[in-house]
Structure 1
Amino acid sequence: MDISTKKRRIALGCEGSANKLGIGVILHTGDPGSASSTSTVLSNVRHTFVSPPGTGFLPKDTAQHHRAFFVRLARRALAEAGVRVADIDCICYTRGPGMGAPLTSVAVAARTLALLWGKELVAVNHCVGHIEMGRAITGADHPVVLYVSGGNTQVIAYAEQRYRIFGETLDIAVGNCLDRFARALQISNDPAPGYNIEQLAKQGGRVLLDLPYAVKGMDCSFSGILTRAEELAAHMKAGGKGPDGEPFTAADLCFSLQETVFAMLVEITERAMAHVGSTQVLIVGGVGCNERLQEMMGAMAADRGGSVYATDERFCIDNGIMIAHAGLLAYETGFRTPIEESTCTQRFRTDEVLVKWRR
């Protein structure tokens, strides 16, 4: 049946750009591209590679994890969705951006499923997947998007079938800054270093330590603040005092780091809102789960008569359903990825994607 007339369309999405392997199944019903079309999450399963405290996750180890768990997660996703292979219209996978070895392992697995099952492939931009999933879950129609994760920090707004980048990090991503700081304090990576920093920060606040605040136009820099935070962590371990002459704690450091980096993000997001005339902010990406970031962004948006939209950890953390959803949107417009072109790349900018499904 022609996809343009088919009333039920199902996609399986495969995500593995970092340390989370996610596979999800989504159902779209109604006329493709119409306002009446609806999306239903049928399954959304995930497994995370967790490295020891004080370490990061290496590409080769992460890729090995994804290869080891892919088949069992795919079986579980189909079982929970209650669909047969024959029901699936396309296989969607993350083309990039992300870590090379994990991306490759999942791309090969998705390509294998497409060949075994006789399905068409759809390569998806990871960042666009986050945005479209956030829009679908929250109902935000024309937001400024703050995309914050371990590998990406961007302020984005839609215009003329592209997601335009208004500002971004000049060096490391905000999530990478938090992850690397967690290593300096030997904070556990289970369930995620950023989450554990957030919980510690709630116990701090006695003192706001002075950290570099680096906003340059619409862009941010996080390498300097990370270096200073690591120096303060070493100073604290050596029994050093804070600016008031009193000892400071790991919780105080986590609080100070969060307050500073999130203030930077709020500033550039507010400037983008003013530029495009939007009253909506949509926060996506793993760092978007942080309640303090949502609170600070909400206060700014409220001052402008606007509102903040965010999702919970099922959808803000990397997952397969966001790849399935964005891939199916593209599939419904006629987009396909030939097997011989089903590659992946570590660098795939958000604004490279033609967003043909939005008018």
Structure 2
Amino acid sequence: MDDDQHGIQDSCEAYFVYVLQKTAEDLGVATIRCSHERWAEFVSYLTGCGLTLDDFELGEYGKYKRNADLQLPNFVQRLAQHYKGSTFFFENVEARERNAGRKADVFIHVSGLREPIPVSLKNYIGGGGITRPQVSSGTFLSFAAGFVFNRIGVGTYEDPRPDAPSPAFSGSDVTRRNAVLDFMRRVDLKAPLETLDRLQAEMRADLLGPDCEMYDQARVRAAVERAAEPGMEAVLEIFRLVGLDQVREKFLARIGMDGKEEALFFDSARYVDSITNPAYHKLREKLNAETTTFTARQHLQNIRFEFTDQPGKVLLATDVPFTINTNGAWYRPKERYEGLREKDDKGHLIKLKWGQRRPYKSKEIATSTNTYLDLRRVGIFGK
């Protein structure tokens, strides 16, 4: 993913809230009229990313805007029908909620309800669209640590010790992490977590070494193969040690199926939300039912999480691949070129050959897990 797409995606959060608020005002169901302020917030964020309105509307990633314009008004209309007689106010909370370790992008304030409804928004422009939304991503370590500790931010977790130097600690801080494990009386978890630390360090030493200055696809693939198998083994050992009940509880929270936050997924063809869709409600109830069986096991280069009801029907199967995210470490635009080309590398103007490693961006290379929900067979889209 290039920098422009990142900027467009991040700006979309503010644009979505503008469209939701403006639609509520147009329908006469807005608690307050503040769409002008929401528009100003969006433009400010967009320009802060170095992008223009033309980039947002007409550029390569203009589909993000078109999807929002097409689907979000339909959602507001359905929301108004669901909460008949109520009015609505939409608040952008993406940054605040991410820093707190939660997934919501927007709060929907509904008149008559004491608390706002937290909603995670997902806008898809390609591939399987909303039938296979991505719900989380992270390194091998952050993926595993989320099943051990209480996550309160990106890569940060609650420190439960009364004398802790601060309320949160970084999962990559081995000394602090081990001290927390000592307090929790879970010294048995130190070794598998340290395995994940080691796999990350070994991969980075290999791919960021002086002999890997130019992109080498075979070498990257070999690094993935070396890391994936022991990474999955370590994570499954952690699951065995903490117990499947805890894994299930935290996995449901991770995929947004624990009922604590709502979801709105949309693409160019359709949208689905967990507030007004009865089939979505039914699926969520079944996934949380005591009679539903939950398993986690290795499947190829993935860990597969599977929920099965009493008759043996699979309710939901989710594969989490273990790989490496190169994060644009090597400069490889679509069109190859000869010689050198100037590139902004994390605020530093440098000259690079095609396929040459970026000295600053490459520092972000990491082991990677991505959690996608396969919603194609679960019945929430109808026939």
**When the two structures are superposed, what TM-score results if normalisation uses the length of structure 1?**
0.29
**When the two structures are superposed, what TM-score results if normalisation uses the length of structure 2?**
0.27
- Larger Rg, first or second structure (1 or 2): 2
Q: RCO higher in 1 or 2 (8 Å CA, sep ≥ 6)?
A: 1
